[in-house]
Amino acid sequence: MVKMVIDSWNAQVNNVNKLIDTFTDEQWNTEVSLNRNRGIYLLGHLVAVNDRMLPLLGFGEQAFPHLYDVFAAKPDKAVEDLPTLDELKRDWHQSVKTLATLFNNLTPEEWFAKHTAVSEEDFAKEPHRNRMNVILSRTNHLAYHLGQLNLLKK
């Protein structure tokens, strides 16, 4: 079961990797639809959300704490000086590599242990608030934005 959920996450990660391998800078800088987010914003958003999984899953500190404000708390175009596409692509690859190593080293028991945003008391009542649930939810989040990024395909 754990393997299926990790495979499902990896499949979505590979879909993002394919876009990184094929999209031009012009595609990344295009809005996915009129007056909506640009590809570059969504890429930064996905890195920022990956990075937040580290503390949420109890894996330690964020590696790119500066990204969350620019690519999640604030909307697209609110900040003028964004990190470059090359930096974001490098950060994406690092974030998924870090997560993959951590995911592969968790035991099934650790997958079903609580994540850090739930108290012991609440977890006793709501045992589904565990690490496995976080990855299920983040996999859907990746798929959601992939549906948007794929609109930039030629």
User: With CB under 8 A as the contact rule, which of the stretches 47-55, 57-65, 117-125, 145-153 interacts with its own copies?
Assistant: 145-153
The residues in 90-129 that bind its own copies, with binding defined as CB under 8 A, are: 112, 128
Near its own copies by CB under 8 A: residue from 73, 104, 137, 154: 137
Nearer to its own copies, 53 or 62 (CB): 53
Considering the complex, what minimum distance in angstroms separates the CB of residue 88 from its own copies? 19
Tell me, letter by letter, the H, E, C secondary structure of 22-79: HCCHHHHCCECCCCCCEHHHHHHHHHHHHHHHHHHCCCCCCCCCHHHHHHHHCCCCCC
Closest approach of its own copies to the CB of residue 93, in Å = 21
Report if residue 1 touches its own copies, rule: CB under 8 A. Answer: yes
Give the single-character DSSP code of 152: G
Buried b (16+ CB within 10 A) or exposed e, 47-78: bbbbbbbbebbebeebebeebbebbbeeebee
Task: Pick the binder of its own copies from 78, 117, 124, 151 (CB under 8 A).
Answer: 151
In the bound complex, what is the minimum distance in angstroms from residue 133's beta carbon to its own copies?
5
Is the CB of residue 41 less than 8 Å from the CB of residue 76? yes
| Separation in Å, CA 100 to CA 37, 61, 76, 82, 129 | 28, 16, 28, 27, 21
In the complex, the smallest distance separating the C-beta of residue 17 from its own copies, rounded to whole angstroms, is 16
Binding residues for its own copies, rule: CB under 8 A, are 1, 3-5, 7-8, 11-12, 32-34, 36, 112, 128, 132-133, 136-137, 139-141, 143-148, 151
